[in-house]
Amino acid sequence: MSRLVITGNGAVCGAGGDPDRILENVLAGRSALAPIASFDAALFRGGFAAEVRDYDGGKLLGDRKLLKFVRRSDVFGIYAGTQAAEQAGLAQWRATLDEAKAAQFSDQTGCYVGSGGGNAQVNFDFFPLMAETKNDLTQFGHELSNMVNPMWLLRSLPNNVLCHLSIRQQLKGPNGCITNHATSGLLSLIESAWTLREGDAERVLAVGHDAPIEPQYLLYLASAGLIGQDRLRPFDEKHDGCLLGEGAASLVLETETSAQERGVTVLGEYLGGGGASEGDGLFSLRSDGDGLSRAIELALLDAQLTPADVGMIVAHGDGTQGSDTSEAAALLDVFGSEMPPVTGFKWAVGHLIAAAGLLDLAVGLQACRRQVVPGIATLDQLADACAGLNVSTQTRTPRSDVVLVLSRGFGGTNAAVLLRVIR
């Protein structure tokens, strides 16, 4: 079977507008986490997040009219997806084909998107009318069509990025929208790989996007004790919670045969992926990291690799005590004392929820291509419960060209993906 290769890589978040700029900020020890500017967060614990500053949705989309139909999260997803598709030269190649071959190219190009499934912000349009009618539902119903944006439903759809990217890029092959909390992005890539392996497409655009920085979501996370004070300190003895980020990442995955035919530059190779759930509850995590261990083992089995083959690990590293310590336990269980260098990026970019795993992968791919494992700048003293984890504040060198990227979400969900960089 033809190998699966990566030919496009795009990303945007508070730390930069593409994978290279994000990596540069990470390597420089610069964090995008700062006091929230998009709303008054004075009453919230921490009140810090990694927002995309100077946000201009129309500029990112290249089409201000489209802002009537999409959310902020969608803007990021469409932007990152377009970035990856352009790097892979999808539209440019199709333009060189005759009508019949161009149609076949579109039919053999799919799209899978990992989405947050919407958040509480989609309901904010109703608040002024609720206040005005003082909870009188009859009056609320009479005035609803006059007060609420008629595009509310279209803007609230979780598959907007899938739709608009498919239309823009003429992606008429297999497609799907995955909403599985923080594992959504990585699962979109895993699903893309299986689509190619099954011969249902020759190339797929995979995207993960989210914009969870809004009052109600922040309130819920803070109430659950998951929000940190002012810094995100993965695996540190002072880790006190995560801080949110926003943005998107995207990869173009295609068969090596397709890439060779088009003569496009290959950035890396997809080796394998795995997912596993602990199924213990919405917030509970097994202290032994069982679900994550199994996801890693499934990815290694899929890739036909051993733990010794892995050159670097991009950990989930969200700064919450339960996740950090159970993640450390999982990595020690799989790799033991022969663990490769471990890093993480959330200390610099925040937790992008549905986009987190794919953004980690996009930046991790670039890091391994440069043969660097970025240090974790906010690590002062490794937590006792994370003892044995191979993390550092210093930039190090991967021990091979294989990258393992991990992602975890509510409900005990876990995902792992293995890539090999190609220079």
| pTM > 0.85 | yes
What is the Cα 134 distance to its own chain's centre? Answer: 40
Task: Give the count of alpha carbons within 13 A of 358, CB side only.
Answer: 46
What structural domains does the chain harbor? 4-118+158-421 (3.40.47.10), 122-153 (no CATH)
pLDDT, one tens digit per residue, over 99-148 is: 999 999 999 999 999 998 766 677 777 888 888 898 888 998 888 888 77
**Which whole number is the average pLDDT over 1-15?**
95
Cβ-based neighbours of 260, under 8 Å, separated by 6 or more: none
**Which whole number is the average pLDDT over 21-28?**
98
Least confident interval from 113-117, 188-192, 283-287: 283-287
What's the rounded Cα separation, in Å, for the pair 104 and 370? 36
For residue 163, give both structure tokens.
């739709």
Is residue 375 scored above 90 in pLDDT? yes
Least confident interval from 115-119, 161-165, 167-171, 402-406: 115-119
What's the rounded Cα separation, in Å, for the pair 396 and 151? 49
Is residue 37 scored above 70 in pLDDT? yes
What's the rounded Cα separation, in Å, for the pair 98 and 89? 17
Is residue 284 scored above 80 in pLDDT? no
DSSP string over 53-81:
TT--HHHHHT-GGGGGT--HHHHHHHHHH
Give the three-state DSSP class for 62. Answer: coil
Q: Which long-range contacts (CB under 8 A, 24 or more apart) does 194-198 make?
A: 195/110, 195/112, 196/4, 196/253, 196/254, 196/255, 197/1, 197/4
Which pLDDT score is estimated for 142? Answer: 85
Which pLDDT score is estimated for 282? Answer: 72
Which pLDDT score is estimated for 119? Answer: 67
Which pLDDT score is estimated for 10? Answer: 98
Which pLDDT score is estimated for 244? Answer: 97
Instruction: Report the candidate in 315, 326, 319 with the shortest Cα–Cα distance to residue 286.
Output: 326
Residue 44 phi/psi, 5-degree rounding, is -95, 150
How sure is the predictor about 208, in pLDDT bands with cuts at 50, 70 and 90? Answer: very high
Burial letters for 49-85: b for 16+ Cβ neighbours within 10 Å, e otherwise?
bbbbeebebeebbeeeebbeebbbbbbbbbbbbbbbb
Which pLDDT score is estimated for 341? Answer: 98
Which pLDDT score is estimated for 265? Answer: 97
The pLDDT > 90 percentage for the chain reads: 82
- Decide which of 149 and 271 is more confident: 271
pLDDT, one tens digit per residue, over 300-334 is: 999 999 999 999 999 999 999 999 999 999 999 99
DSSP string over 214-252:
SHHHHHHHHHTT-B-SS---TTBTT---B-EE-EEEEEE
**Identity of the amino acid at 184:** S
Average pLDDT of the chain to the nearest whole number: 94
Is residue 206 scored above 90 in pLDDT? yes
Residue 378 phi/psi, 5-degree rounding, is -95, 10
Which pLDDT score is estimated for 123? Answer: 75
Is residue 49 scored above 80 in pLDDT? yes
Which pLDDT score is estimated for 118? Answer: 64
Which pLDDT score is estimated for 68? Answer: 87
Which pLDDT score is estimated for 149? Answer: 75
Instruction: Report the candidate in 358, 364, 417, 20 with the shortest Cα–Cα distance to residue 207.
Output: 358
Please list the residues that pair with 146 across neighbouring strands.
none
**Which whole number is the average pLDDT over 53-78?**
93
What's the rounded Cα separation, in Å, for the pair 5 and 310? 18
For residue 327, give both structure tokens.
């993640």
Is residue 169 scored above 90 in pLDDT? yes
For residue 414, give both structure tokens.
């876990």
What's the rounded Cα separation, in Å, for the pair 38 and 15? 16
> Running DSSP on this structure, what letter comes out for residue 380?
S
**Which whole number is the average pLDDT over 56-63?**
93
**Identity of the amino acid at 345:** F
Which pLDDT score is estimated for 2? Answer: 85
What is the Cα 97 distance to its own chain's centre? Answer: 33
